[in-house]
Amino acid sequence: MFTRWVTFIPLLAAAFLTGCRGQAVSPGPLQHETQAVELDKAEMARVELRMGAGELKVSGGSPRLMDADFTYDNSAMKPIVRYEPSSFRGQLSVEQPNVHSTGSNHYEWNLRLNNMLPMDFVTNLGAGNAEMNLGGMALRGVEIHMGIGNLDMDLRGDPKRDYNVEIHGGVGNATLHLPAKVGLIADAAGGIGHIEARGLEKHNGRWVNAAQTDAKVTIHLNIRGGVGNIEMIAE
């Protein structure tokens, strides 16, 4: 059944984009742009990404708050980057302009975030694929909302504090790579699709790993999928 649903993903994506409001744009020559947001005196940050449709890659390793590479084929698609400084919690947002395509657009973000600054990370992706390597970051919380597309998230690392992960998917697969040496408690459910867990066992309706019993740090996951497979790999 899942295979039959996957064949409809391009059609659903087209319907999603057709329904978007805003300026209509046509594809043109590819444009490439880099942007950087420097660290300030903020003790932590909230990073929020909003992409209507495209390819999203996020990782750590930046000496700044963010280093970004954007590729797009119409100047009206230039991402909007905003940062609101604060001595306590800075607010960084990256947003796709309110436009929709009259053809097949090329739209890609490649973002690197800081590893050391405690961070709340939120992503809203309407249609597209997301590849996220977040395990080396000082995460306080992760929240992902996806409409149509696949998510590949790597949380393997050595976290120093507990944090929660919320993932809400519409149509597409979600693959999560999790650190086996910390506690893992996952509440996962899919509408149409299969849930596979490696390195975790089902206990009282939730997926847990062996380290969860006496771990000093625990990652709590709440995963909800609509149509598609959910794969959790603790390694």
Tell me what percent of the residues of the chain surpass a pLDDT of 70: 87
**H or E element that contains 180:** none
Q: Where are the domains of the chain?
A: 2-234
Predicted TM-score (pTM) of the model is: 0.87
**pLDDT at residue 191 is higher than 80:** no
Burial of 27 (0-12, 13-18, 19+ CB in 10 A): middle
Residue-level pLDDT at 189: 87
Residue-level pLDDT at 131: 98
Task: Label residue 232 by pLDDT band (50, 70, 90).
Answer: very high
Cβ 192 vs Cβ 227: under 8 Å: yes
**pLDDT at residue 32 is higher than 80:** yes
- E strand segments, 20-103: 23-25, 31-37, 44-62, 66-72, 80-84, 89-95, 99-101
Residue-level pLDDT at 104: 60
The predicted-structure confidence for 150-176, as pLDDT tens digits, reads as follows 999 999 999 999 999 999 988 999 999
Residue-level pLDDT at 9: 40
Measured from the Cβ of residue 217, the count of other Cβ atoms closer than 10 Å reads 15
Q: What whole-number distance in Å separates Cα of residue 213 and Cα of residue 208?
A: 9
Q: What whole-number distance in Å separates Cα of residue 209 and Cα of residue 186?
A: 9
When pLDDT is averaged across residues 25-38 and rounded to a whole number, the result is 89
CA torsion 133-163-177-122 (nearest 10°) is -50
